[in-house]
Amino acid sequence: MAKYKLLYKLNHANGALVDESGDTPFEFEIGDGQLDPCLESCIENTKIGKLQTFLLSYNEAFGPSYDEAIQVMNREEFPKDMTIELDAAVEFETPTGDAYVGCIDKINGNDITVNFNHPLAGADVSFQVEILEKIE
């Protein structure tokens, strides 16, 4: 697989900066799991040394937001020592050992609403990338 050294910015459609490499080049290998496949595809379609911006609809980027990925859980389902606060990311392990991260959307007494959608699900994004080096 190809390895890349690049600079990037990822913005929400509302203009909010989501993530960026800053002045420090980001290094990764296609398929290593550091970037979502939709962003990897943009990188593979970028010329070395050229700053390119990709405007991605939510379907092209992180997909739609699914209602079934939003769960209301009882406070007793969380570790007793865990601080429950809005917008906090929490990780849960399934009985099969898979890990899922959710974001606390709402607290209503002992009912805690956790959103397991990708944080950018349902959002259009702008991905700006400049490839500094491609290592085959």
Amino acid identity of residue 119, one-letter, is: P
What whole-number distance in Å separates Cα of residue 47 and Cα of residue 115? Answer: 37
pTM of the model: 0.76
What whole-number distance in Å separates Cα of residue 119 and Cα of residue 25? Answer: 24
- Is the distance from CB of 13 to CB of 126 less than 8 angstroms? yes
pLDDT of residue 136 exceeding 80, the answer is no
What percent of the chain lies above the pLDDT cut of 90? 72
What whole-number distance in Å separates Cα of residue 40 and Cα of residue 107? Answer: 36
86 three-state secondary structure = coil
Instruction: Compute the residue count for the chain.
Output: 136
Residues 6+ apart with CB under 8 A from 25: 5, 6, 7, 132
Per-residue confidence at 67, pLDDT binned at 50, 70, 90? very high
For residue range 18-36, list pLDDT tens digits in order.
999 999 999 999 999 888 8
What whole-number distance in Å separates Cα of residue 94 and Cα of residue 114? Answer: 15
Q: Report the mean per-residue pLDDT for the chain.
A: 92
Domains and CATH numbers, the chain: 3-63+120-135 (3.10.50.40), 67-115 (2.40.10.330)
